[in-house]
Amino acid sequence: MFPTKKYERIRTEVLIETFIRKQLRLKAHTVTRVEETDECMLVYIDRLGGRLLRCGVCHRRCREVHDVREEREWRDLSMRKLPLKLRYRPRRVECPRCGVRVEDFPGAEPWARVTTALSNAVAVLARELSWQGTAREYGLNWKSVATIVKRAVQYGLKHRRRPPVHWIGMDEVSRRKGQVYLTVVYDLERRVLLWVGDDRTEEAVRPFFTQEMGKRRCQTLRVVCLDMWATYAKLVREYAVNAQLLFDRFHIVKHLHEAIDAARRELWRQLVSREKVEVKGTRWLLLKNPWNLTSDQKERLSTLVRWNSPLVRAWYLKESFQLFWGYKQPWRAKQHLLKWMNSAMRSRLEPFKKFVGMLRSHLDGILAWTQTRLSNGAVEGMNNKIKSISHRSFGFRSAENFIAAIYHCCARLPLPVEA
Ligand SMILES: [Zn+2]
């Protein structure tokens, strides 16, 4: 009735090999034996009888085996604490289409040192952790993780879906504390990173339109959202002929805040020390929304109002500018903005005059807000993610690695399919 002890032992051994064979989804190959050492499990794989092998390039079945190569080893995922290592002598097949090629070995690329399953697991973790942290977790070195991520990105860029793009946002991110810049392009509709360029110059960004998008895909672009001070507008006008330029709301407000700050500093320089006490610490008072002020802060603000200081004029200008975003009808929004620009010009505040000059030369792209209601705020989270990527990794001294990490974390690229 009950199986003998010997029978049970044999059955268990068969099971481990079968288990691994099934896990690796081997069809034309089989596991011949499994050896356990102190630091790993060695899995020996061989060809299964005369089953047909596939070409590594076109994946067609091939009748003829050309030769048998030297034994190679791939690291696989761990079984509990023990890493699996696969050993196999890859065949070269005679493919009717490609000629003599290395066979398609299931579960691993012939040139790689790790299986697809392990490299995918590493790649997934590298989206969350730094490359150093990922390497530590899998007992690899930093370079191997870098290689795996870069391969994954390469694969992902080649195999990702490319639906038509309608709204894009272009922005710059700094690398190394404002010394070097990268350009990032987002699909605002799907909230996904489309492209990263090494620098923010015209030459560096042009490939986005000529290579990444191409003529046909550029024609579907409807809105391009960007910063007024960037050099991108010229390229957009050149390549995305159907697109409406839209200057990003958050960037405009940022420039407005800079104008207030500059006005405050100007005033500070003119004040005598007794007056400085009153003005000190008003920076946040002026930038805050009025409904968020405490009664003490309101009191200080009203003191400033009585003075009719330049600061107060700046504060009123800021508040009334913000009304622009609420208008639904384009002509009303335009009327408001033109009026505002007039009063800003009469404010005797130099930084505001400069700001008006900037608005004037970008007017169309600012008024476009009323109809499009788009901003790069939709992808603000992704910009923060890029910042955190650059903070957590001190290994990104090269732009190449940083760009790969950005694609890897923000572009939702597909990973290679595991056999
Ligand atoms: Zn082939």
Per-residue pLDDT of 360-406, as tens digits, reads 999 999 999 999 999 888 888 888 899 888 887 765 778 899 999 99
d(CA 377, CA 155): 29
For the chain, the residue count is 419
* Cβ contacts of 389 within 8 Å, gap of 6 or more: 396, 402, 405, 406, 409
- Give percent helix, percent strand, percent coil of the chain, each to the nearest 5: 50, 20, 30
Rounded distance from Cα 99 to ligand 1 centre (Å): 7
Angle between helices 310-322 and 249-270 (to 10 degrees): 170
Backbone angles phi, psi at 233, to 5 degrees: -55, -40
**Predicted pLDDT of residue 3:** 55
Rounded distance from Cα 93 to ligand 1 centre (Å): 9
Rounded distance from Cα 58 to ligand 1 centre (Å): 4
Rounded distance from Cα 105 to ligand 1 centre (Å): 13
Q: Which of 239, 176, 180 is nearest to 206 (CA)?
A: 239
Pairing status of strand 61-62 against strand 53-54? antiparallel
Rounded distance from Cα 97 to ligand 1 centre (Å): 5
**Predicted pLDDT of residue 350:** 93
Rounded distance from Cα 72 to ligand 1 centre (Å): 21
**Predicted pLDDT of residue 419:** 65
Instruction: Name the helix (H) or strand (E) containing 84.
Output: strand 82-88
Q: Which of 90, 76, 91 is nearest to 23 (CA)?
A: 76
**Predicted pLDDT of residue 308:** 61
Instruction: Name the helix (H) or strand (E) containing 404.
Output: helix 399-410
Per DSSP, the residues of 60-78 read: -EESEEEEE---EEEEEEE
Rounded distance from Cα 21 to ligand 1 centre (Å): 25
Rounded distance from Cα 363 to ligand 1 centre (Å): 58
∠ CA 96-92-146, nearest 5°, is 110
CB–CB of 389/409 below 8 Å?
yes
Q: State pTM to two decimals.
A: 0.84
Rounded distance from Cα 332 to ligand 1 centre (Å): 65
Cα→Cα distances 368→169, 239, 332, 375, Å: 14, 19, 13, 11
Rounded distance from Cα 22 to ligand 1 centre (Å): 26
d(CA 388, CA 129): 10
Instruction: Name the helix (H) or strand (E) containing 175.
Output: strand 167-175
Tokens 């991520």, residue located = 149
Q: Which of 110, 106, 78, 102 is nearest to 21 (CA)?
A: 106
Question: Taking the CB of residue 244, how many other CB atoms lie within 10 A of it?
Answer: 18
**Predicted pLDDT of residue 205:** 94
**Predicted pLDDT of residue 316:** 87
pLDDT digits 0-9 by tens, 193-205: 999 999 899 999 9
Quick one: what percent of the chain has pLDDT higher than 70?
Answer: 92
As a dihedral over the C-alpha atoms of residue 102, residue 106, residue 107, residue 113, rounded to 10 degrees, the angle is -20
Q: Please give the biggest Cα pair distance in the chain.
A: 104
Beta bridge partners of 64: 94
CB–CB of 410/383 below 8 Å?
no
* Cβ contacts of 114 within 8 Å, gap of 6 or more: 74, 75, 76, 108, 122, 144, 148
Rounded distance from Cα 65 to ligand 1 centre (Å): 13
Pairing status of strand 41-47 against strand 53-54? unpaired
Q: Give SS3 for 264.
A: helix
Q: Give SS3 for 37.
A: coil
Rounded distance from Cα 92 to ligand 1 centre (Å): 11
**Predicted pLDDT of residue 106:** 83
The parts of the chain modelled with pLDDT lower than 50 are none
Rounded distance from Cα 23 to ligand 1 centre (Å): 26
Q: Give SS3 for 415.
A: coil
* Cβ contacts of 418 within 8 Å, gap of 6 or more: 107, 116, 117, 120
Pairing status of strand 167-175 against strand 180-187? antiparallel
**Predicted pLDDT of residue 68:** 94
Q: Give SS3 for 168.
A: strand
Q: Give SS3 for 23.
A: helix
Rounded distance from Cα 140 to ligand 1 centre (Å): 33
Rounded distance from Cα 193 to ligand 1 centre (Å): 34
